[in-house]
Amino acid sequence: MSTDPDEVRTSLGRNLTYGLLDALGKSIVTGGYDGKAFPTEAELSKQHGVSRSVTREAVKMLTAKGLVSARPRQGTIIEPASSWTLFDPDVLRWLLDRKFSIELLRNFSELRSAIEPSAAALAATAADQAGLHVIRAGFDRMKAAEAGEDDTLEADIAFHLAILRASANPFFAQFRDVVATALRTSIRFTNRIQGRTADLEAHRAVMVAIEARKPEAARKAMAKIIDEVMALIANPPTA
């Protein structure tokens, strides 16, 4: 990291508080402070070329996300991952910058298996025509991606998020960031396997069941997609 205050300040972007938050949060989540004491506000201000008020606000935001806490006579310390606010969009984004972990993928997939099949079943009974249209649009994007006309990852994510929204349950819809991050982690893993891409027919089965208003068929079809990932996790390919 540059020690020139002007260079460091510029690297944080136009919003210094959020720039510092992002730099510190990413460093914490990716292990940059492992085995090290977290710097004091004065040290952070000097290192990043920002005011104490900017540093103080960024540390408050890290505290709200569960990454750090202030302890009497100990100063600011980094909390274990079990204390982090894992549904926070910033924390999820920083997790993607960590070294790939099968354990993290397993955790994400277990969460998906608890959410997405139920969301698909709900969508089969509650989705309005607009919701069904967005699901089909997501699937059409996946078909286009297979032909090299769209981004494979973003198309897959769009399909799954459309189902969460179509469930008409606001709590399921709030899982969009978690599911998107889980899919990015999952696809990072499955892309390591030669020729491994999203199973279009499996996704079509989910869409058709939802459109036919068959909740149990939709639930099973979605569970099948996630179960395939779980099977790969249990028996990861060897190099």
Q: Regarding predicted confidence, which is higher, 146 or 222?
A: 222
**DSSP character string of 165-221:** HHTT-HHHHTTHHHHHHHHHHHHHHHTTSTT----HHHHHHHHHHHHTT-HHHHHHH
* Same-domain pairing of 73 and 143: no
Answer for the pair 138, 188: CB distance below 8 angstroms, yes or no: no
Span 177-191, average pLDDT: 85
Identify the pLDDT of residue 7.
47
In this prediction the pTM is: 0.82
- 78 DSSP β-pair partners: 68
List b or e across 65-82, with b for residues whose CB sees 16 or more CB atoms inside 10 angstroms: bbbbeeeeeeebebeeee
* Same-domain pairing of 110 and 227: yes
Residue 31 belongs to some domain of the structure? yes
* Same-domain pairing of 73 and 113: no
Residue closest to 155 by CA, chosen among 203, 96, 212, 213: 203
Task: Classify residue 171 as exposed, middle or buried by CB count within 10 Å of its CB (0-12, 13-18, 19+).
Answer: exposed
CATH number for the domain spanning 39: value is 1.10.10.10
State yes or no: pLDDT of 140 exceeds 90.
Answer: yes
Answer for the pair 195, 109: CB distance below 8 angstroms, yes or no: no
pLDDT confidence tier of residue 239, bands split at 50, 70 and 90: low
CATH number for the domain spanning 202: value is 1.20.120.530
- pLDDT tens-digit map of 16-48: 999 999 999 999 999 999 999 999 999 999 999
Give the residue from 29, 52, 83 where a domain finishes. 83
pLDDT confidence tier of residue 219, bands split at 50, 70 and 90: very high
Answer for the pair 203, 159: CB distance below 8 angstroms, yes or no: yes
